[in-house]
Amino acid sequence: MALHVNCGGPHDETLSFAGSELERYMERMLPDGTEDVSIRLLAGREKEEAERFSVSMTPAGGSITGNCPRAVLLGVYDYLRRLGCRFLGPGKHCEMIPSIRREQLAAVYEKRASFRHRGVCIEGADSRENVLHFIDWLPKAGYNAFFLQFKTPYAFLKRWYRHENNPLREPEPYTEADAERDMAAFEAAVKRRGLLLHKAGHGWTGEVLGFHALSWDAERAPLAEEKRGLAAEIDGRRALWHGVPANTNLCFSNRQAVDAFAERVVEYAAGNPAADYVHVWLADAFNNVCACDACRETTLSDQYIALLNEIDRRLAASGLGTRIVFLLYQELLWPPVRERLANPDRFVLMFAPISRTFEASYALDGPEKEIPPYIRNQITLPTDLGENLAFLRGWQKTFDGDGFVYDYPLGRAHYGDLGYVHMARITGGDVKKLRQMGLDGYISCQELRAALPNALPNYVMGYTLFDETADTGDLINEYFQAAYGEDWERVKAYLTTLSRLSSRDYVNGKGGRVSAGMARRMVALQAACREAAPWVDARRDQGLYWRLLAYHREYAMQLARALELLAADRPEEGREAWLALGKLIQENEPEFQPYLDVYRVLEVTANYTGFRGLGA
């Protein structure tokens, strides 16, 4: 077979990449001896609009056109999916590529992305390959954006290379210079695919205080005396918050702090023209805002808006059109009282309901909740979905521009869903409510290695963000059929049972730790795992997803045992079971590294579920 892909117009890296991807997959799919197939790829130059593409193909070839090069790449992957390809997770080993006949090439259709913002933000512990494989997967699953937190992803890669939370592996050196090098490779991979690049976020406050804040690590060096007046005053003292620069707020009534913050953002924007969005956030902690007399005269959100306006003025004076993402999070959930953004077109609202429950989707029905009174340094983060949405509505009364939700379905709570079916349904349901919420998309702050037993939640999330009319149940069935073959319904029923018995909230630290009902559910979950053992383990050698399912069964049983004992108020035995879980996943990490983030499982279950210190 000779496949001819012609990229029309001037050279464009993303369009050329789309052509090479189409050639690579089609040559695998069509039989040898197939007559020539000629396909033309054409792209417009729209930047701000949602992607649109059209496919017009006959058995002899045809065209894929889009309103921008990224849209053409999305069209290529969508067409391949229409031909039967399944991109089930990051990495080539997670792809299902069928053999097809030439006659199957015929197709004529058009699509338009439902939402502008469709992305994932790096979290957890990741290798270079983990990140590059995930970036490669994003457009295959309908996403269009990637967010590299901090100024480099040093925090996330050094966790992996130093093998934090796995003493069975020898730590490898990883430096800030290594992170700079890897950052360049990640950005190149993002831009090759035409994806939207989000950068920064955490770390600004630490930099103003004189630290190179690239993680949440505590600093050994104390706050310099000449910087002390810039830090938030809490209980009459100005210092680093628990020693962590990235978690330390500033005194925003101090003009020097505002000037230093704004100056750093402008310098960063000027030096990072490839960033489509720069995130400007405050400290990553709460109940630690400045309580000096001057700051008490206003609110943190009013000070935040004033800071953003100062940044906007300086960006405009420098001729920079950088889009700035501002954050509704912790104290900043409370809307400003007096201040308003002077140039709203520069800004994008990001609603981050980090404390929400994942037992249900966003609650849009019923009476509207009221925003509780703001009490400085005595806030309680909202778990209730209606209350979370009340904060969003409050902000939307002051800002009616572009915005998206920044949520955490695969950040912590997913370890409490041992079937992943519930989390896939919740995420699909959340996406379908975005338009009613007045938001234009979703970025998931999550571990990249979230694929045990499979990557179903991310699969549903990506395809539903591209097409909000997609049926969640159909996507789940499509995934199970591709991953497990003729026995897919049995696997789906089994994992659905595990999801039903699981508790996202319990693992995420919500509610009491002692619960007879939770203990009973964990006993039943272990029984379901034992009942599945004969038919699951017998298929261990029948492909990647059966091997993952067999390992996942062992993992689920051990985690459920630890949770059962914790809920039954047997702390010493619970800690022993948790340590056994750690040993299981630490020993198996070399084989299953791309699918389960050992660092994050143990960090979450220690600090949120509550195993740290039990029985000590």
314-372 confidence digits (pLDDT tens): 999 999 999 999 999 999 999 999 999 999 999 999 999 999 999 999 988 878 899 99
Cα four-point dihedral sign 410, 414, 420, 426: negative
Cα four-point dihedral sign 384, 374, 607, 248: positive
Crossing angle of helices 69-82 and 128-140, in 10° steps, is: 80
- Provide the 10 A C-beta neighbour count for residue 500: 15
Structure tokens at 204: 């600004």
3-112 architecture in CATH?
Answer: 2-Layer Sandwich (3.30)
Predicted pLDDT of residue 485: 96
Residue 391 near residue 333, CB atoms below 8 Å:
yes
Which residue type sits at 54? S
Tokens 């405009």 locate to 316
Structure tokens at 514: 């002692």
CA 11-12-13 angle, to 5 degrees, is 125
Q: Is 218 helix (H, G, I), strand (E, B) or coil?
A: coil
Predicted pLDDT of residue 35: 75
Bridge-based pairing of strands 52-58 and 441-447 is: unpaired
Q: How many residues does the chain have?
A: 616
Q: Is 197 helix (H, G, I), strand (E, B) or coil?
A: strand
Q: Is 150 helix (H, G, I), strand (E, B) or coil?
A: strand
CA 527 to each of CA 215, 501, 580: distance values in angstroms, whole numbers, following the listed order: 41, 11, 19
CA 579 to each of CA 206, 478, 522, 596: distance values in angstroms, whole numbers, following the listed order: 35, 37, 17, 17
Residue 121 near residue 71, CB atoms below 8 Å:
no
Predicted pLDDT of residue 613: 67
Q: Is 230 helix (H, G, I), strand (E, B) or coil?
A: helix
Domain boundaries, the chain: 3-112, 202-355, 484-609
Q: What is the dihedral of CA 93, 96, 100, 105, to 10 degrees?
A: -100
- Report which of 447, 411, 455, 446 is spatially closest to residue 125, judged by C-alpha positions: 447
- For residue 334, what is the DSSP state? S
Upstream peptide bond of 453 is cis (omega within 30 degrees of 0): yes
Neighbouring C-alpha atoms within 13 Å toward the C-beta of 305: 22
Which residue type sits at 604? V
First and final C-alpha spacing in the chain: 67
Predicted pLDDT of residue 221: 87
Residues paired with 442 in a beta bridge: 118, 405
- Cα–Cα distance for residue pair 139/145, rounded to 1 Å: 8
Q: Which residues of the chain have pLDDT under 70?
A: 1-5, 8-10, 48, 613-616
- Provide the 10 A C-beta neighbour count for residue 92: 10
Predicted pLDDT of residue 602: 98
Residue partners of 501: CB distance under 8 A and separation at least 6: 418, 521, 522, 524, 525, 528
Neighbouring C-alpha atoms within 13 Å toward the C-beta of 524: 14
Give backbone dihedrals phi and psi of 58, rounded to 5 degrees, phi first.
-120, 175
- Report which of 429, 419, 421 is spatially closest to residue 471, judged by C-alpha positions: 429
Residue partners of 181: CB distance under 8 A and separation at least 6: none
- Cα–Cα distance for residue pair 131/183, rounded to 1 Å: 10
Predicted pLDDT of residue 8: 67
Residue 202 near residue 246, CB atoms below 8 Å:
yes
Structure tokens at 299: 């609110």
- Report which of 32, 67, 343 is spatially closest to residue 41, judged by C-alpha positions: 67
